[in-house]
């Protein structure tokens, strides 16, 4: 089941238990919101389209946090004119957790939902099985080769490898000679 809803002047496709980033909303963290500008809903293959909105349909959401987006760099220049301007911008966003899509007449009980974790940890039994499969005392082939190369190098070769710094020679003008 999904819906297309207008949030802050923009249309977003939302599903239940989805995290969504929208432009900053004036709501406190932890607040429950309902968006009534639902344009389309789909449930089990049946699509309902509003003209322009569906009467009574709502999307319930929880404000998780207020964050800032990645920095966007703006660089303007005009070639051969000496005009260069550099600017940056970070958009303020609100992170929403979609709790449910409600049709006409349905009610939503606001309770603390169990938000889906970004990374689920593997079960302890699975970790034990993986540890049992991998032999503990053996090195991989690449680590063995690297260890052998390090042992066979002479101290001079090691020092030469460390001192591979390029030196720059200064050019003299022809007029100075």
Cis check: omega of the bond before 154, within 30 degrees of 0: no
pLDDT in tens, 85-106: 999 999 999 999 999 999 877 7
Asked if residue 150 has pLDDT above 60, the reply is: no
pTM, entire model: 0.58
- Return the pLDDT at 78: 97
Quote the CA–CA distance of 138 and 101 in Å, as a whole number.
Answer: 54
Asked if residue 132 has pLDDT above 90, the reply is: no
pLDDT in tens, 49-69: 999 999 999 999 999 999 999
Average pLDDT over residues 153-161: 54
177 confidence band (pLDDT: 50, 70, 90): very low
Question: Taking all residues of the chain, what is their mean pLDDT, rounded to a whole number?
Answer: 78
Q: Is 17 left (phi over 0), alpha (psi -120 to 50) or beta?
A: left
Quote the CA–CA distance of 43 and 57 in Å, as a whole number.
Answer: 13
75 confidence band (pLDDT: 50, 70, 90): very high
- Return the pLDDT at 142: 56
Asked if residue 18 has pLDDT above 60, the reply is: yes
- Return the pLDDT at 135: 55
């Amino acid at each position: 089941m999904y819906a297309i809803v207008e949030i802050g002047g923009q249309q977003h496709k939302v599903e239940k238990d989805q995290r969504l980033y929208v432009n900053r909303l004036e709501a406190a963290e932890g607040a429950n919101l309902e968006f009534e500008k639902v344009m389309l809903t789909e449930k089990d293959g049946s699509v309902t389209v509003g003209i322009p909105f569906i009467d009574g349909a709502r999307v319930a959401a929880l404000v998780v946090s207020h964050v800032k987006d990645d920095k966007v760099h703006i660089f303007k220049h005009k070639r051969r004119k000496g005009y260069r301007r550099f600017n940056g911008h970070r958009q303020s966003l609100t992170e929403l957790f979609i709790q449910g899509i409600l049709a006409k007449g349905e009610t939503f009980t606001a309770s603390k939902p169990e938000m889906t974790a970004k990374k689920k940890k593997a079960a302890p039994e699975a970790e034990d099985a993986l540890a049992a499969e991998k032999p503990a005392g053996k090195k991989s082939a690449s680590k063995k080769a690297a260890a052998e190369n390090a042992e066979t190098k002479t101290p001079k070769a090691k020092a030469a490898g460390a001192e591979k710094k390029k030196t720059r020679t200064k050019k003299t003008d022809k007029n100075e000679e």
